[in-house]
Structure 1
Amino acid sequence: MNRTRFGGRFVDGLVGEQFAVPEAIPALRSIARREASGELVIVSGCDPLNLVGTVLDGERVPAVIGARILFEDGVAVAAWVSGEMQWLVDGNAEKQQRWREALGVRGSARRVATGDASRSRSADATR
């Protein structure tokens, strides 16, 4: 099967050339235009989605048991590593408190309730 692929830079912050099938381009553009919703997602440091400090900008978050990375609207904002908070972006005291509370939630890959019940479903269907 021979499929057309486009090469270029589709996602800011990722290094190197990226490739996408034509039908992915409108989806990527719609995400870029989307208003920030404050959605929080926690990913385990051992998860393959832990690209912080390797593909994504920032200090590397080690792939160790117990390490967690908090993303807000797709941006890595904080991490919990070896029992300590790591701020990956600047945030005011209110945001940092919200992030700290979110990282206190037990679990590896899950969505955190942000006040809208439709966004509070766990990403891990087994929970």
Structure 2
Amino acid sequence: MSSFAFPIILVGSLLLSGCSDPSVEKKAEFPIESHKVAVFEYNYGATVDYVYRFYFLANTSEVTKAPDPDQAFLEVSDIENMKVEIEGDKIFISCIAGDIYSYDSRIFVDGKEYFPKLNQRCGD
């Protein structure tokens, strides 16, 4: 092995080891009739700020493990003071203070369609 091969292998393994899975913690749960909105915090360490993912789930059991990130209908950078309410097929999420990374305006659960509505203002 030549003398420059070891540093290249070492640098490559250090770069690959920096890509680790985030730590995930459930932060809030909002029961809504037969379903609930569950919010999970994803901490990616020094590489990215926190990401809060919102999931619309059946209200039949306790959810301790986050679903697949692709199933989130909303991703934001902050959830402080956020409120979640439902009226019929609409899910109102207000007091959004941070950045919105992704948002699905229609979600389907158990054959029913729901429409999340976002509002950065608090109150009426």
Same fold (TM over 0.5): no
TM-score by length of 2: 0.25
Give the strand-richer structure, 1 or 2: 2
Structure with the larger RCO, 1 or 2 (CA within 8 Å, 6+ apart): 1
- Structure showing greater Rg: 2
